[in-house]
Structure 1
Amino acid sequence: MVASYASAQSAPAGDAARGTRSRDAPSTNGLDTWDANHDGIYTCEEWKSYLDRLFTLADRNRDGHLDPSEFPIIRRAGTAFADADFGYFDENQDGKITRSEFVDKPSEFILQFDKNGDCRVTQDEMKGPSTDQKPPSGRGRKF
């Protein structure tokens, strides 16, 4: 079931300093599984809910954090996370990923396509090439 959630993601991307990150985008196969109500609008809350479910699945020992031995569950969730790097999510580099570190990661897809900044990506916002660039300060917002 998690594989279907991950199908709503696109290929991972990253940088050398932080490692590979997961970049999310709606699926092209029509199974937009992180769009919880299937209305074709992708929201920050739906993204966070999707990551929360994935975290719960991966936290096998239910200790409230993911350690390196649990992280492969994230990678197996689907192709979007196949190359995900533990260090990207472990923001304070303490060797474990808290629920907050995982769930509060902003959606790159929403950052790219949310042209009016309302934390919702509509079908109209996804049409055509995305030439509008968000200012750098937009990338730091919390959802």
Structure 2
Amino acid sequence: MTRIPPVLAALFLIGGPAFAQQGIPGVHFIEQWDLNGDGHVTPEEAREKRGDVFFMFDQSEDGNLQPGEWAMIADHLAAEEGNQGQGGGQGMGKGPGRFVKAAMEPPFNDLDGNGVVTKEEFVKATDTLFAQLDRNGDGVLTAEDFGRR
């Protein structure tokens, strides 16, 4: 399989301005993560998308995220946060964005605490992220779940 260049991986990671499009938080996130186009993101779609994200950042192709790969993720998140220019929790620092940001850091994903994050751990951690984002607890993510908190 061909690796996607890291610069393009960021688009997959959070879909450009993931938490606001024309002032509506979450719209772009839903567009990027709603794999079947039905207007909402299911846990299965979220797991598949995070599996894709893992694949894009696992540049060593060893099934683990290494320190340099985590650094690449952090760089992309920082660039994305800097490009957001959004207040009120719509960017990566507050509101739902804080959950997405935390979910892209080693501690969130190292489920067995051994200092190594495997693809299986990364994908499994999606369930925690999904629960954090599913504001109304209905089992799907919609733009409404990304409203101010």
Class of the TM-score when normalised by the shorter of the 2 chains: 0.5 to 0.7
**1:7 pairs with 2:14:** yes
Distance, in Å, in 1 between the alignment partners of 2:142 and 2:105 is: 29
Distance, in Å, in 2 between the alignment partners of 1:93 and 1:59 is: 19
Deviation of the 1:86 alpha carbon: 1.5
Deviation of the 1:126 alpha carbon: 4.5
Deviation of the 1:73 alpha carbon: 2.7
Q: TM-score, normalised by structure 2?
A: 0.58
Aligned residue for 1:95?
Answer: 115
Gap change, CA 1:114 and 1:56, over 3 Å in 2: same
Aligned residue for 2:56?
Answer: 57
The C-alpha deviation readout for 1:47-100, integer Å capped at 9, x for no partner, is 011100110011111111112221123221544466643122112222210111
**Structure 1 gaps, min length 5:** 11-25, 131-143
Q: In the alignment, is the contact (CA less than 8 A) between 2:133 and 2:145 conserved in 1?
A: no
Identity %: 24
Aligned residue for 2:86?
Answer: none
In structure 2, give the amino acid aligned to 1:49: E
Matches within 5 A, 1:1-143: 1-7=8-14, 27-29=19-21, 30-31=27-28, 32-75=31-74, 76=76, 78-79=80-81, 80=92, 84-105=104-125, 106=127, 107=130, 108-110=132-134, 112-115=135-138, 119-121=139-141, 126=145
In structure 2, give the amino acid aligned to 1:3: A
Gap change, CA 1:33 and 1:120, over 3 Å in 2: same
State the Cα RMSD in Å: 3.1
Distance, in Å, in 2 between the alignment partners of 1:90 and 1:45 is: 20
If each structure's helix is expressed as a fraction of its own residues, which one has the higher value? 2
If each structure's strand is expressed as a fraction of its own residues, which one has the higher value? 1
Q: TM-score, normalised by structure 1?
A: 0.60
Gap change, CA 1:121 and 1:85, over 3 Å in 2: closer
**Secondary structure in 2 aligned to 1:69?**
helix
**Structure 2 gaps, min length 5:** 1-7, 22-26, 82-91, 93-99
* Alignment: residue pair count: 110
Deviation of the 1:127 alpha carbon: 9.6
